Structures are given as C-alpha cells and as structure tokens.
Chain A
C-alpha cells in the first residue's frame, strides 16, 4: 500500500482542550500544523437538534460513532467503569458542561502538604498566567467581589464575563448550604454571559451536554479551532485515527501513521509530534507504538506510560422538593461548594472534593426513564418528580495509584483492528473513606435544603468523565514520563498535550488546566523552534 507522506512543522494528535489549543498557539507563532482527529467535525446549528419536540432522543445520539466498535474499551478487575468521551473536532469539550475552575495552590504540592501522592514539578504561580490567557480566550464567566469563591486561588485578572445567575434549584441548595455554614458560589463557566469573540451570550437553554446549537458554549471547535484555521497554517484532518508514532533510527519521533476517513493508511511527518488524545487514548497510542528502540511502547523507558490513571470520584445525589424548581431553566450546573476541598485533619483520609449543583438531565423523557415501572403509578411518580428535583454531584480527588492503569486489551479490537484500551481503576482505602464522607455530606445538604425525599445517592465509576494521569509529569525520568514542559524524557521531539500529564487530579474539572498547560507547552515549543532546536 502506498502511503501519502506529508510534512509539517508539528503534527498534533487530538483536537480537544489540549490539542486544539496547541494547534492554534503554534500556528499563531508561525508554524505549520497538521491536526489528526479521530472523530468528525460538527456544525452546531445543523447537527444539534435541541430545538425539536423529540430533542431528547435525537440530540442524545449526535455524538455516537457510526460504528460502535470504534469506541470499544474493556475494564480490568471486577469493578465496572463507564468511559465517557466524545471523538470529534473539539474533543470532549463538545459535550462538556464547560465548568472551568482552576486547580488550587495546594494541588501542586500534595506530597509536601499532606504527605500523599507526589508534588508537581511546577507551581500554581507557574501556571497562573496561562489560566488567565485561556479564560480570556474562552470568555469564562465567574464571580468577583462579594460573590467570589472564598476558596479560589489568587488571580491576576478578574473573570472576563459576569457570572451566570442562580436558578430556583441553586437557590434552594444555597438555602441549605447557608444553614450548614457552607458557601455555594457561582462556578466559573466557559459560557460567556455576554457576546464574546463573535459568539452570542448564553441563552440559558441548558443543553450544553447535547452540544450548543448557538455556539455560545466555549467548546474548542468554536473558539480555538477557527482561530487556528484562520492563520492559514493549520490543517484539521477529521475522521483520521492515529495508529502509531514512528521513530527514526536516531530515536526521534518521525511521523504518525493513521487511518484516513476511507480507512486507508496514511503517514504524516513532523519535526515535532504532540499527542493529545486524552489520558486513555494517549497512553494507548504510545503503547501501540513499539519499535526496536522502544519495545514496551514509545517514551516508556520508565514503564509508567498508562500508569497512575485517575478520575474524579463522582457521586450523584438527587432530592425531591415540594416546590416547583424547573431545573431545566439555566445552564446545567448551578454553583459549587469548595468548603471541603483541602485535607481536613479530622478526616481519616487525605485531600477533598468539590460539590456542584447538577441540573441535568431532568427533561420530561429523562425523568420518565429514570423512574422504574409503567402505568398509572409511573405517571403519578413522574408528575411528583418532574420540575421538583434538585441534583448534586461531586468531584472527589482520587489519589494516584500505580495499579490504576491503561493497558492494551490482548483480545478485543476496535473497528480499525487495533487493540482497545483496557481500563483498570480500583478505589484504594483513601478513596473509599472519602466516598463515604461525600455521600453523607450530599445527603446532609439536600436535607438542609428541604428535600422531602432523597432518591439517588450513588457512586458512578467513570462518571466524572475526567480522565487523568497515565503520562505523569516530573523531573526524574525514572518516575515520570514527561518533563515540566510536557516533553517526553525519552524522545526529545515528542510532547504530551492533555490531562495525561497530571501528577495529581485535584478536585476540580480539569479542562481549563489542560488548556492552560497546553498553552504553556505550545509556548515552550515555539521558543525551542526559535532557538533552532528542531
């Protein structure tokens, strides 16, 4: 088979919160960039039918692959794990709720402060300017002044746009939080409350997970990608699935072999290669890229590629209230509580969690489907629940553990014939103790808020959709995969541009941190180019 070998300064694998950002930053720095994206491109106005009577059915399937085998995965160990992500130009930001909190200062020095896990080789101060740049690119809305989060880390600039308002659900939860002495504040959202960079202000439709039809939500496909393409130096290749990174005899990464939309193998070479597929897919691609020099997978001399996989401990809790709350009015999340973020010496475990008000999915069909049974009693129950529910969710910090990992399944293959990722994620005692505490706190808040009934309070493994670790950052090549600039220790022209590099996961949604790290990595790459390093 003849492969079409093309050249670029930089080849980026993945176009989400990491890859899309790196592509734009490098193109604006004057470099030629080719982006390989496994999924297709979505046109918000044409592809997101959230204006139809059956939107819950139609819009709910928009991001599903044509061939389900494309996204296959298996799980190791006895525990179930639900792996949620979207492949498409923009990555999982296509369906994210756009929560954009920063990590806290303590997240970068967990070992020093709490004696667990490891410190990052960078500090919050190192990352702060990049957080700010990304926030202004996305038009992040957030509270300052009286409504500010008392637990927020220091910021060099205010949020670009005003915070969203509180809907009725948030107000009842705020009532309960206040009784308990907790602080429910508006969370930072990559959903501008005013027109921003040519996109309209949010209309409070609450359909962020189904795709934002008016492109108000700042997903990467409507923010960074258009800017990248406007430079004329970026080629986005959608429906192109990378299968291997090829290494030259000198040990440098030479090219990426991928399947094009017709399933034909192609090859593209770059002076630099950036992998940004997410913590699962990035590890998978490196493990698939074996060679004489790297028999155990690319950049894997430490043996740590795929290891220290983390997600956030996700517990969902729902209460039913006497009053009508109409949770669908407004963005899908309705504020956060970070009183439990830091380690509490009275707890039997380290680190903490963020609680968020969760307004979705509480539309008619979703509500009906969530209630078991049928017939007259089912209808009565739907009527009792619909419009009367308030939800809470949380992101608890799962500590990194070497046993939690991504490997290649020895048997199961995807639609391209490639081994699928096998996800092993078990909870260690610290996680289990934290899960117990979170569950009781969620219940306490709902009760204090006036819930007459609590209908759900359960852990959903994988439910956070925040997948981290697997190519951890560090100064020592024996205990980490990438250096503080996200360059792999083993391969000087190979970088990782996604949540794989997280040393610890914090207890905050990671998208903003991924984009901030990607901005910093892109800056480092551009400077290296200027120095003539590549």
Chain B
C-alpha cells in the first residue's frame, strides 16, 4: 500500500510523465503478441545492445539464435510479470525523457556513445544510492525521488538492475553465448563422462 501511495505521489510530481505513460499504456493493443509499444521496443532494443554488445569477434545479444530477437524475448519476460511491466513502462519512458532533456533527442536516436554515457550515469547513480540503508539515507531517497521524478531519472534508475539482469539472462542462456564460452551444457540428461574433453 505504501508503494502505491508513493507511486501516486510520484505521478503527481511529474504530470507530463504520467500523461505520456497513460497514452502509451492505452496504446497497448489488447490481445497483441507484443507487450512493448513501438517506442518502448526501440529503447529496450538500444539498451539491450549496450548491455550485451557484440564486437572484437565476440557475439552480443543481437546475435542470439535466428527467429528469436532479444527484444521479443525481453517482451515475453515483461509480459509475464506485473511488477516488471511497471518497471519497464516507467523506466523506458524515463530513459527517453532523460535523453530528450539532456541531449535533445530520444534515447533510441542517440549515438551508441551517447546511449552508453547516459546509461552509465544512471548506473552510477543507482550504485551510489544502493550503498547503505540507514533510515536517513532512505529518507533522502524518498526526497530525491520527488526531485528527480520530473527529469525521469528515478524510474530509469529503478529499471537499471532489472533490465541488466534480464539481458544477461537472455544472452547467457542462449546457444550463441554457450558456443562463445565453450560451454557444453545443459548438464542433463547426458552429464559429463570426461572431466577434460567436451561432449
């Protein structure tokens, strides 16, 4: 209940953000196979590519098995989890608004370097605030949340650990990453008859 009250207060603190969120939520087509809106999918895809990039001969999240784009897998994870839906809808919009307010264009339209800079800023903010849980720190976090709600960084910060873990989950459970790492799993049903030779 406290969480709902907190979220309601945040909404009031940032009416433009809330209006856009309502518009996006209304545009989710009932019965559609995709949960993300077009704008959300573009930001999610951009974030996924900087979280697990390809390069230097190593695959990234955009190289996972054909017919299964990372954003479709991310969409599926989000569609199955109500808590994630809120984190993603708020957070993806927050990244977009943050990019607009600081760089003058939407997140998906920034250069890769620009996206990385912004994402790193969010991560650093998240990490610095994740340290310590003393009550005065918590009070400070609540205060900060309202201050930064207008800029949207608060929701971007809340999305950071979730989308990071989800992207790692998608990539490191793919056959592409297993080949890259020379991991001959899954463990069952064959097990390992040799401690030195691959299956």
Chain A residues with a Cβ under 8 A of chain B? 48, 50-57, 165-168, 202-207, 213-214, 326, 328-330, 363-365, 367-369, 373-376, 379, 382-383, 386-387
B198 to chain A, nearest CB (A): 9
Residues of A contacting B182 with CB < 8 Å?
Answer: 387
Work out how many contacts link A and B, with CB atoms closer than 8 A.
114
In contact, B187 and A368 (Cβ under 8 angstroms) = no
Measured CA separation A205–B191 after assembly (Å): 4
- What are 9 contact pairs spanning A and B, CB under 8 A? A50-B186, A50-B187, A56-B172, A57-B173, A204-B191, A205-B190, A205-B191, A375-B53, A379-B58
Residues of B contacting A379 with CB < 8 Å?
Answer: 52-53, 58, 60
Residues of B contacting A330 with CB < 8 Å?
Answer: 192, 195
**5 closest Cβ pairs, A-B complex:** A203-B191, A205-B187, A51-B188, A205-B191, A167-B195
Q: A53-B173, A57-B173 are in contact. Are A376 and B53 (CB under 8 A)?
A: yes
Residues of B contacting A387 with CB < 8 Å?
Answer: 181-183
| Interface presence of B177 (CB below 8 A) | yes
Residues of B contacting A364 with CB < 8 Å?
Answer: 172-173, 177-178, 181, 183, 185
Residues of A contacting B53 with CB < 8 Å?
Answer: 375-376, 379
In contact, A203 and B172 (Cβ under 8 angstroms) = no
A160 to chain B, nearest CB (A): 21
In contact, B168 and A365 (Cβ under 8 angstroms) = yes
Q: Kindly report which residue of chain A lies nearest to residue B47, judged by CB atoms.
A: A374
Pick from B56, B169, B173, B181: contact of A386, CB below 8 A.
B181
| Residues of B in contact with A, size category | 35 or more
In contact, B169 and A205 (Cβ under 8 angstroms) = no
Q: Give 7 A-B pairs besides A50-B186, A387-B181 with Cβ atoms closer than 8 angstroms.
A: A51-B189, A55-B186, A55-B188, A204-B193, A206-B187, A368-B171, A383-B181
Residues of A contacting B181 with CB < 8 Å?
Answer: 364, 382-383, 386-387
In contact, A363 and B183 (Cβ under 8 angstroms) = yes
Convert B28-63 into 0s and 1s, putting 1 for each residue whose CB lies closer than 8 angstroms to a CB of A.
000000000000000000000011110110101000
Measured CA separation A166–B56 after assembly (Å): 35
Convert B151-194 into 0s and 1s, putting 1 for each residue whose CB lies closer than 8 angstroms to a CB of A.
00000000000001101110111110110111101111111111
Residues of B contacting A57 with CB < 8 Å?
Answer: 169, 173
Report which residue of B53, B173, B178, B193 has the largest number of chain A beta carbons within 10 angstroms of its beta carbon. Answer: B173
Q: A168-B196, A374-B50, A374-B164 are in contact. Are A56 and B188 (CB under 8 A)?
A: no
Residues of A contacting B195 with CB < 8 Å?
Answer: 165-168, 204, 326, 329-330
In contact, B50 and A363 (Cβ under 8 angstroms) = no
Q: Kindly report which residue of chain A lies nearest to residue B51, judged by CB atoms.
A: A374
Pick from B165, B178, B196: contact of A369, CB below 8 A.
B165
B68 to chain A, nearest CB (A): 11
B164 to chain A, nearest CB (A): 5
| Interface presence of B147 (CB below 8 A) | no
Pick from A326, A328, A365: contact of B172, CB below 8 A.
A365
| Interface presence of B69 (CB below 8 A) | no
Measured CA separation A230–B167 after assembly (Å): 48
Residues of A contacting B21 with CB < 8 Å?
Answer: none
Pick from B56, B60, B123, B187: contact of A55, CB below 8 A.
B187
A333 to chain B, nearest CB (A): 14
B175 to chain A, nearest CB (A): 7
Residues of A contacting B192 with CB < 8 Å?
Answer: 203-206, 328-330
Residues of A contacting B186 with CB < 8 Å?
Answer: 50-53, 55
Q: Kindly report which residue of chain B lies nearest to residue A371, judged by CB atoms.
A: B168
B5 to chain A, nearest CB (A): 21
In contact, B187 and A207 (Cβ under 8 angstroms) = yes
In contact, A328 and B185 (Cβ under 8 angstroms) = yes
| Interface presence of B145 (CB below 8 A) | no
Measured CA separation A285–B177 after assembly (Å): 48
A456 to chain B, nearest CB (A): 19
Q: Kindly report which residue of chain A lies nearest to residue B170, judged by CB atoms.
A: A54
Residues of A contacting B164 with CB < 8 Å?
Answer: 374
Residues of A contacting B72 with CB < 8 Å?
Answer: none
A110 to chain B, nearest CB (A): 38
Residues of A contacting B58 with CB < 8 Å?
Answer: 379, 383
Q: Kindly report which residue of chain B lies nearest to residue A379, judged by CB atoms.
A: B58
| Interface presence of B116 (CB below 8 A) | yes
- Segment 109-164 of B: residues with Cβ below 8 Å from A: 116, 119, 123, 164
Residues of A contacting B52 with CB < 8 Å?
Answer: 374-375, 379
A350 to chain B, nearest CB (A): 35
Measured CA separation A50–B185 after assembly (Å): 9
Measured CA separation A55–B190 after assembly (Å): 14
Residues of A contacting B165 with CB < 8 Å?
Answer: 369
In contact, A213 and B189 (Cβ under 8 angstroms) = yes
Q: A330-B195, A383-B58 are in contact. Are A50 and B116 (CB under 8 A)?
A: no
B133 to chain A, nearest CB (A): 11
Q: A53-B174, A364-B172 are in contact. Are A374 and B123 (CB under 8 A)?
A: yes
In contact, B168 and A368 (Cβ under 8 angstroms) = yes
Q: Kindly report which residue of chain B lies nearest to residue A56, judged by CB atoms.
A: B173
Q: A204-B191, A383-B58 are in contact. Are A55 and B51 (CB under 8 A)?
A: no
